[in-house]
A and B are shown apart, each in its own frame.
Chain A
Amino acid sequence: MTQQKLFYRKVFYIAMIAVLVFPLYMLGNPARRDGAGGLLAQRRDELNLSEANLGEIDPAGSAMKLATFGMRGVAVSLLWNRSLEYEKRSDWDAVVATANQITMLEPHFITIWDFVGWKLAYNASAQFDDYRERYRWVIRGFEFVQEGTTYNQESPKLYVRAGWTISQKIGIADEKKQYRRLFREDEELEKNQREREARYVNIPKLPSAKDNWLFGCAFYKAAETWFEKRGEGIGNETRLLFYGRAPLNRIRYAEWMEIDGCGLNKENAPVFDEENCANAWLQAQKDWEDYSNRVVDTTIEDKTNPGTYRRTSLNLQKEKRAEMDRLEEEIIAALPANLGETAQEKREAIVWERWHTILNDEQRAAMYNSVLYPYDENDYNLGRVGFGARAVRKYLDAEVARAKEAEEKGEKVELWTGPIDEYWKLSDEEKKGTSPWINWQSDLFELRMSFVDEDLRELARTPRLLVPQEDTKRYGGAFARLDEWQGRASSLLAVTPDVLASYLEGNAQAEAMDKIAQIEELRKEESFSRMFRDIMGADFHEREVVFEQTPEARGARKYRQEARDRFN
């Protein structure tokens, strides 16, 4: 090649380099105080991917990343496989060391922090025999996840994991008493946490009470803060579950104050203080109320408005239910006066009428267990015995009382179970061997038996507890048909708005039908919210936080405290 050609070639190369430098500069220019930087820097900023946005910058990690010469993914895969091998051999120190190496290479891979933290706190800790060693590994898992929040400050998921570990693993494990004691006495943990709090701002703080539930609460609150800022970061988790953790922790904190005290005194002995307990329950109630009133997006698509999600709150169920009840009360108010004076009496009258006009013998026989089930009016959970069955029971008891009165007066009475005339036809001699008035319970029982197959009837008459083991299956089979009919019978006795409307006529009925349509619309929201209330145990918690502040509960706590003091 000639010198001239070589020269031209060099000039061409230099020119190409100069030309390519410009797009390189446009792409790779870093962000500065006075400028947003090149395209890559701007995209990084938009997507919150730059190291400074995500969290603390780790020089050691950066050095390691450079040392892999771009094969970071390969290195991480190899290290991960190695960590699985160490785990198989229960070499947990090596698992931790390998996990540390992985997180240096991939500090923004949330799953590593989440998964390994959980693995140490749950899997590794369970492997050890000494509960103190198990506690150490739980704390190690927690601190591992907490370290992850340093490099991923905006990740709600990691805050949730840290909060979960410190709350649940310490608070509901089999060793919870021991773990809570060790947590309170853990000076090293406290020292480390205070150092972290001095170094970083806006991180969850270890409460002075050194309670794991409160500490977990702080992490949950941090998760909520970042979730609201980012609008994402918890995947497909139901928002009501997500927001429910903090108030539940408050409830657990108040619960445990009574069990193992409100912190430690100077001699490291637990302190029991009823005033503190009551305050804790008050705070729990406030937190629960705030949570119940919070309207959030669910993850269920709104079919009436595609692209959006249904919104609800726990208290929405109560609001809609109150509205539905009001509409139902208006329908009942329009019912004829002969059914009764109060709404309750009208409902009961309708149930009674349907009992002996709508239900057939099989259905009445199927309701035997419900009607006879002993219930207590003061029991707050009366759901076990339906309103219908209770109403029937009340009427049937009244029937017996009426028959007794009639018998004393010498009058004949017709009852739903059959006319009492049959008794009056008996001779004096025959009357002596029989009951002076008809017992509806035994009649209902006989009716029930009449629907059991003949060959099983004798077994069916045996009380359940006295049925031999080998006949249990046959015994259950004897009532198979009756059990099938019971559902139908219960629904026929239900006093729904439709049933109420059937007792009205003309305009009143038309108005009732309008109200029923409104009730159905409200029911959709009500049942949707009811689903979440059931998931979160809202009914129970609402009662709990109120009950624990009652004078009776406070008195009981004081009584226990005094007993404890006397015992010590």
Chain B
Amino acid sequence: MIIENPIPPYLEWIGMAALNWLISVGALAALFSLIALVFLTIRKGPKQAVPAFVGGVRGALEDLFKFSWRRAFAIASLAIRESIRKKVVVVCVVFLALLMFAGWFLDPSGKDPARLCASFVYQSTTYLVLLLAIFLSALSLPADFKTKTIYTIVTKPVRSSEIVLGRIIGLATVGTAILALMAVCSYFFVSNTLNHKHVLVDGEDVKAVEGVAEDWSTLAPETVVASGETRLANGHKHKVEVFADGTARVVEENKHAHTIERIVEDDKTLYKVGSAVGALQAKTPVYGKIKFRGENGFEKERGINVGEEWEYRSYVAGSTEEAVIWTFDNITPERFPEGLPVEMTISAFRTHMGNIEKTVMGALYVRNPKTGLTAETNVFNSEKYATKALFVEREIDQEKNKVRVRTLKKTGDESTFDPVLTTADLKQTGEKYDLFEDFVVDGKLEIWLQCLDSQQYFGAAEPDLYLRAQDANVFANFFKGYLGLWQQMVILISFGVLFSAFLSGPVAMAATFGILIAGFSKNFFVEIARLEALGGGPIESFNRLVTHENMMSDLSNTFATQLIKAFDAVSGVFLSVIGLALPSFSDYNFYADCVANGYDVPWNAVAVHMTTTASFAIPLFVVGYAILRNREVAK
């Protein structure tokens, strides 16, 4: 799976994140306090301003400490009832209608149908739920103001904080319920779409391998005695292998396989190919840290750039000493008793066609980071853009696996090893090695990847190779995938309630919608604010649109151009501040991406994102409360 911005471990991240949050919130609080003081000074005069401000702060603290969760939940239940009255369930009907016609849009015959289906349901749910969140949150309070039902609430002993938080909780509950319903429907839709069977007829589709003895009992159980291909279904076929022990296997194709049962009755052989297995997965990858080895033996952070526009991967040359090295931690026999299941998605780059009918060859090695003991464990044909699964056996044979000692130079210093092993020592140590005893040191292990073909290259990024630990539960993981959307919804509801506290319904809706758009394009927004985007700032871009200038050419050096650039520079400062306050909604797509690509959503990511969500929701609630508290509503 592509991970361009890896999420750091929670405990490493929280310290700096919390500090940044406190500084930002503190700065905003100071700014708002200053604005409030200025406003009060203008309204009540300098003598009354400070006491009024202090009184306001005291009132706010009182509201905070005398906050009643009971009342807040009462407001929340009101919000829920109000939403049901507004027939929000219609959204579910729309969603179901979308699922029914989704077959027109989706093609399950692609290479990765699970990804396509999962992406579709997550995307469509996103659009519907977030739009619903905007409608509900932005129109809720303004509707109350318009119909004057707000008076029935504020005349009771309900604090503004309870009203705001109650709305947020209530609307979030409605959104969560709808989301849960959609998630269940989505799961069944995806399962149903991916479900298919193949036909396999003995004699027509499966035939005996030439030269195999008729009496299978004389052969080793794992000998392939017959092979063939299933009939076409969902745009693909599977290869089938029958073994001497009477069992059969359906080879994986389009990222799934099938169960198969071989039944022999009255000299007739029947094959029952079952439903798809493994279409939806929840792989739990264990990632290592990456570095590269240059041809001279020095390690470096990045490999060669082969000229690709997207620099996610860097490359190592084939048939040289260059290698990609991953260092894994916490490798124990308890976690991987039989050996290491390695999966990788590497890129191959050819500088010449070579042998057209063969893909580029590569080799995988395990290495002791301390002694340099290295063993070649797998030689393979690369599969570009496909995930290749290899298994590193626990038992390593010196002759078969080409064991030797390999040194690595650190950049700037030569590394030394303790104890120092040499190739001569290997001859005295014996022929058999154990992966955990001889190659793992303090839980650390290095896995090396090299390209074997001359003048060809292998490219990799850190997440491209991992160890596959025990898979997580697919069902639970599918629903975990909706956590990202849930968090987006909560933040959007918080913004909606905030805007609705002081804006009219349509304006609040537009503002919240603007937050949604800007949140999904936060990086682009910040680029424009900092004048780093092609085409300049907002006014310059508009000028280019109107005058049909392209993004690359310089504008003519006139007074108007200077004025435009100056305006953009000034507005850029303002936009940068807004950009900092914007939530990065696209980061939450990580959850859907994980599920669509068949990976378990890591709890570390959930913790980081939940904390981020709370870091937005809490200040939004406080600001919303402050605005509502100071609004002229029957005090």
A interface, CB within 8 angstroms of B: 59-60, 63, 88-90, 92-93, 96-97, 100-101, 104, 127-131, 133, 174-175, 178, 188, 191
Task: Identify which of B101, B309, B383, B384 contacts A63 (C-beta below 8 A).
Answer: B101
A88 to B313, CA, bound (A): 12
Which residues does chain A contribute within 8 Å of B2, judged by CB atoms?
A: 89
Which residues does chain A contribute within 8 Å of B104, judged by CB atoms?
A: 59-60, 63
Is B115 an interface residue, CB under 8 A from the partner?
Answer: yes
Contact in complex: B384, A127 (CB < 8 Å): yes
Which residues does chain A contribute within 8 Å of B101, judged by CB atoms?
A: 60, 63
Which residues of B338-397 have CB atoms within 8 Å of chain A's CB atoms?
Answer: 347-348, 350, 353, 356-357, 359-360, 382-385
Residue contacts A-B, CB under 8 angstroms, 11 given: A59-B104, A88-B309, A89-B2, A90-B347, A97-B119, A104-B105, A127-B385, A128-B384, A129-B348, A130-B383, A174-B356
Which residues does chain B contribute within 8 Å of A100, judged by CB atoms?
A: 105, 107
Which residues does chain B contribute within 8 Å of A63, judged by CB atoms?
A: 101, 104
The smallest C-beta distance from A447 to any residue of chain B, in angstroms, reads 50
Chain A: CB-nearest residue to B382: A129
The smallest C-beta distance from A442 to any residue of chain B, in angstroms, reads 50
Is B212 an interface residue, CB under 8 A from the partner?
Answer: no
Contact in complex: A178, B357 (CB < 8 Å): yes
**Interface pairs A-B: 6 shortest CB-CB:** A60-B104, A129-B384, A129-B359, A129-B348, A88-B310, A175-B356
Which residues does chain A contribute within 8 Å of B382, judged by CB atoms?
A: 129
Which residues does chain A contribute within 8 Å of B309, judged by CB atoms?
A: 88
A174 to B352, CA, bound (A): 11
Contact in complex: B110, A93 (CB < 8 Å): yes
Task: Identify which of A59, A88, A101, A188 contacts B232 (C-beta below 8 A).
Answer: A188
Is B417 an interface residue, CB under 8 A from the partner?
Answer: no
The smallest C-beta distance from B384 to any residue of chain A, in angstroms, reads 4
Which residues does chain B contribute within 8 Å of A129, judged by CB atoms?
A: 348, 350, 359-360, 382-384
Which residues does chain B contribute within 8 Å of A89, judged by CB atoms?
A: 2, 310, 312
A480 to B336, CA, bound (A): 78
Interface of B is mostly: loop
Please judge, given known A-B contacts A60-B104, A130-B383, A178-B357, whether A90 and B116 are in contact too, CB under 8 Å. Answer: no
Please judge, given known A-B contacts A60-B101, A129-B384, whether A93 and B357 are in contact too, CB under 8 Å. Answer: no
A178 to B112, CA, bound (A): 25
Chain A: CB-nearest residue to B237: A188
Which residues does chain A contribute within 8 Å of B356, judged by CB atoms?
A: 131, 174-175, 178
The smallest C-beta distance from A357 to any residue of chain B, in angstroms, reads 59
Interface of A is mostly: helix
Residue of A90, A129, A130, A174 ringed by the most chain B CB atoms within 10 A = A129
Which residues does chain A contribute within 8 Å of B110, judged by CB atoms?
A: 93, 96-97
Chain A: CB-nearest residue to B109: A188
Residue of A59, A90, A174 ringed by the most chain B CB atoms within 10 A = A90
Q: Give the bracket for the number of chain B residues in contact with chain A.
A: 20 to 34
CB within 8 Å: A-B pair count:
53
Which residues does chain B contribute within 8 Å of A101, judged by CB atoms?
A: 105
The smallest C-beta distance from B554 to any residue of chain A, in angstroms, reads 24
Contact in complex: B353, A174 (CB < 8 Å): yes
Is B111 an interface residue, CB under 8 A from the partner?
Answer: yes
Which residues does chain B contribute within 8 Å of A130, judged by CB atoms?
A: 359, 383-384
Chain B: CB-nearest residue to A96: B110
Residue of B110, B112, B360, B384 ringed by the most chain A CB atoms within 10 A = B384
Residue of A88, A97, A174 ringed by the most chain B CB atoms within 10 A = A97
A175 to B119, CA, bound (A): 34
A101 to B123, CA, bound (A): 14
Chain A: CB-nearest residue to B236: A188
The smallest C-beta distance from B542 to any residue of chain A, in angstroms, reads 16
The smallest C-beta distance from A170 to any residue of chain B, in angstroms, reads 14
Which residues does chain A contribute within 8 Å of B107, judged by CB atoms?
A: 100
A60 to B115, CA, bound (A): 21
Task: Identify which of A90, A131, A188 contacts B385 (C-beta below 8 A).
Answer: A90
Chain A: CB-nearest residue to B2: A89
A175 to B104, CA, bound (A): 35
A163 to B382, CA, bound (A): 32
The smallest C-beta distance from A193 to any residue of chain B, in angstroms, reads 14
A59 to B105, CA, bound (A): 11
Which residues does chain A contribute within 8 Å of B353, judged by CB atoms?
A: 174
Contact in complex: A90, B310 (CB < 8 Å): yes
A96 to B111, CA, bound (A): 11
Contact in complex: A93, B112 (CB < 8 Å): yes
Task: Identify which of A88, A93, A188 contacts B111 (C-beta below 8 A).
Answer: A93
The smallest C-beta distance from B149 to any residue of chain A, in angstroms, reads 30
Contact pattern, B 1-33, Cβ under 8 Å of A = 1, otherwise 0: 010000000000000000000000000000000
Which residues does chain B contribute within 8 Å of A96, judged by CB atoms?
A: 110
Chain B: CB-nearest residue to A134: B356
A63 to B350, CA, bound (A): 44
A96 to B235, CA, bound (A): 16
The smallest C-beta distance from A133 to any residue of chain B, in angstroms, reads 8
The smallest C-beta distance from A127 to any residue of chain B, in angstroms, reads 7
Which residues does chain A contribute within 8 Å of B359, judged by CB atoms?
A: 129-130
A174 to B356, CA, bound (A): 8
A92 to B2, CA, bound (A): 14
A18 to B112, CA, bound (A): 56
Chain B: CB-nearest residue to A92: B385
Which residues does chain B contribute within 8 Å of A174, judged by CB atoms?
A: 353, 356
The smallest C-beta distance from A404 to any residue of chain B, in angstroms, reads 59
Residue of A88, A100, A130, A133 ringed by the most chain B CB atoms within 10 A = A130
The smallest C-beta distance from B552 to any residue of chain A, in angstroms, reads 16
A63 to B94, CA, bound (A): 14
Which residues does chain A contribute within 8 Å of B105, judged by CB atoms?
A: 60, 100-101, 104
The smallest C-beta distance from A339 to any residue of chain B, in angstroms, reads 60
The smallest C-beta distance from B147 to any residue of chain A, in angstroms, reads 25
The smallest C-beta distance from A454 to any residue of chain B, in angstroms, reads 50
The smallest C-beta distance from A320 to any residue of chain B, in angstroms, reads 46
A188 to B235, CA, bound (A): 8
Which residues does chain A contribute within 8 Å of B350, judged by CB atoms?
A: 129
Which residues does chain A contribute within 8 Å of B385, judged by CB atoms?
A: 90, 92, 127-128
Task: Identify which of B116, B312, B348, B384 contacts A97 (C-beta below 8 A).
Answer: B116
Which residues does chain A contribute within 8 Å of B112, judged by CB atoms?
A: 93
Which residues of B71-112 have CB atoms within 8 Å of chain A's CB atoms?
Answer: 101, 104-105, 107, 110-112
Which residues does chain A contribute within 8 Å of B348, judged by CB atoms?
A: 129
Residue of B101, B110, B348, B385 ringed by the most chain A CB atoms within 10 A = B385
Chain B: CB-nearest residue to A191: B232
Chain A: CB-nearest residue to B383: A130
The smallest C-beta distance from B421 to any residue of chain A, in angstroms, reads 36
The smallest C-beta distance from B247 to any residue of chain A, in angstroms, reads 28
The smallest C-beta distance from B207 to any residue of chain A, in angstroms, reads 13
A89 to B3, CA, bound (A): 12
Chain B: CB-nearest residue to A128: B384
- Starting from the known contacts A60-B105, A133-B384, A178-B357, 17 additional A-B residue pairs (CB-CB under 8 Å) come to A90-B310, A90-B385, A93-B111, A93-B112, A96-B110, A97-B116, A100-B107, A104-B105, A128-B384, A129-B359, A129-B383, A131-B356, A131-B357, A174-B356, A175-B356, A188-B232, A188-B235
A510 to B385, CA, bound (A): 79
Contact pattern, B 206-220, Cβ under 8 Å of A = 1, otherwise 0: 000000000000000
The smallest C-beta distance from B204 to any residue of chain A, in angstroms, reads 14
Which residues does chain B contribute within 8 Å of A188, judged by CB atoms?
A: 232, 235
The smallest C-beta distance from B110 to any residue of chain A, in angstroms, reads 6
Which residues does chain A contribute within 8 Å of B115, judged by CB atoms?
A: 93
A96 to B107, CA, bound (A): 11
The smallest C-beta distance from B597 to any residue of chain A, in angstroms, reads 11
Chain B: CB-nearest residue to A64: B105
A130 to B348, CA, bound (A): 10
Contact in complex: B312, A93 (CB < 8 Å): no
Which residues of B503-523 have CB atoms within 8 Å of chain A's CB atoms?
Answer: none
Chain B: CB-nearest residue to A133: B384
A90 to B309, CA, bound (A): 10
Contact in complex: A93, B384 (CB < 8 Å): no
The smallest C-beta distance from B24 to any residue of chain A, in angstroms, reads 30
